[in-house]
Structure 1
Amino acid sequence: MSNYELMVIFTPVLSEEDYKAAQKKFVDLVKDNGGEVSHENPWGLKSLAYPIQKKTTGMYLVLEYTAPSDFNEKLKIQLNRDENVLRYMFTKLDKHAVAYNTRKKGNYEAEPKPVEA
C-alpha cells in the first residue's frame, strides 16, 4: 500500500450539497476498495489559472489516502466518467512528503508556543 494525494477540480455550478455528495463519493470509493483516507481538505471555490471548458473558477478538493497501487486505475475511470470533474491529478507521496504533511497538520492544530523576550 502506498500513500497518494489526489486533487480534484469540480465544476463551479455545483451546489454545496452536490459538492459534499461528490466529495463523499470519492472518499467512500477509496474506503470501499481497501484504502484509508488520512486527510480530506476541501478548498472550496477558487479561481483557475486558465479557463477549463469555458469556466474560470472551480471547486477544489484535496485527498490524502493510502491504497493499493491498482486502485488508482479504478479511481481514474470513475473520475473520467464523472461529468462534474473538470481536472484531477494523482501524486504518489514518498516518506518525506508524508512526514512533512503530518508535521504541517500538527503545527496548525497545536497550540501556539509562547515566545520569550
Structure 2
Amino acid sequence: MNQYETVFILTPVLSDDQMKEAVNKFRGILTDNGAEIINEENWGLKKLAYAIEKKSTGFYILMEFKAQPEVIKTLEVNFRRDEKVLRFLTIKMEKYAAEYAEKRRNNKSKKED
C-alpha cells in the first residue's frame, strides 16, 4: 500500500452539517475500498487565490491515508461528480514526505497537550 495525501476544497455555501456529511462521504469511500486513514484535518474557511465558480472562499480539508493505487481513481471520480467540491489534489507521498508529515503531526499533538 502507498501513502497518499489529498486536499479538497468544498463550496463555502454549505452549513457545518453539510460539510461534515461531505467529508464523511469521502472518508467512507476510502474505508469501503480498504484504505487506512492516518490523519484528517479541517483547515476551515479560507480565501482562495482566485475565484472558482464565482466563489472567493472555500472549506479546505486534508486527508492522509494508505491505500492501493486503484482506490485513488474511485475517490477522484467521486470528487468530480460531487458539485460541493470546487477543487481537489491527491499526491503519492514519498518516503521523506511521509516522515515529514508524521513529524508535523507529532509536533502538532505536543503543542495541543
TM-score by length of 1: 0.92
Secondary structure class of the residue paired with 1:6: strand
Secondary structure class of the residue paired with 2:69: coil
Deviation, 1:110, is 2.0
1:108 match: 108
Give the Cα–Cα distance (whole angstroms) in 2 for the partners of residues 80 and 108 of structure 1: 31
2:4 maps to amino acid:
Y
Q: Does 1:89 align with 2:80?
A: no
1:68 match: 68
1:51 maps to amino acid:
A
Question: What does residue range 1-117 of structure 1 map to in structure 2 within 5 Å?
Answer: 1-110=1-110
Higher fraction of helix: 2
Gaps of 5+ in 1: 113-117
TM-score by length of 2: 0.95
The structure number with the bigger radius of gyration is 1
Aligned-residue CA RMSD in angstroms? 1.2
Deviation, 1:111, is 6.0
Give the Cα–Cα distance (whole angstroms) in 2 for the partners of residues 41 and 11 of structure 1: 17
1:115 match: none
Give the Cα–Cα distance (whole angstroms) in 2 for the partners of residues 111 and 43 of structure 1: 17
Instruction: State the identity as a percent.
Output: 40
Deviation, 1:87, is 0.3
Give the Cα–Cα distance (whole angstroms) in 1 for the partners of residues 107 and 61 of structure 2: 21
Paired positions, count: 112
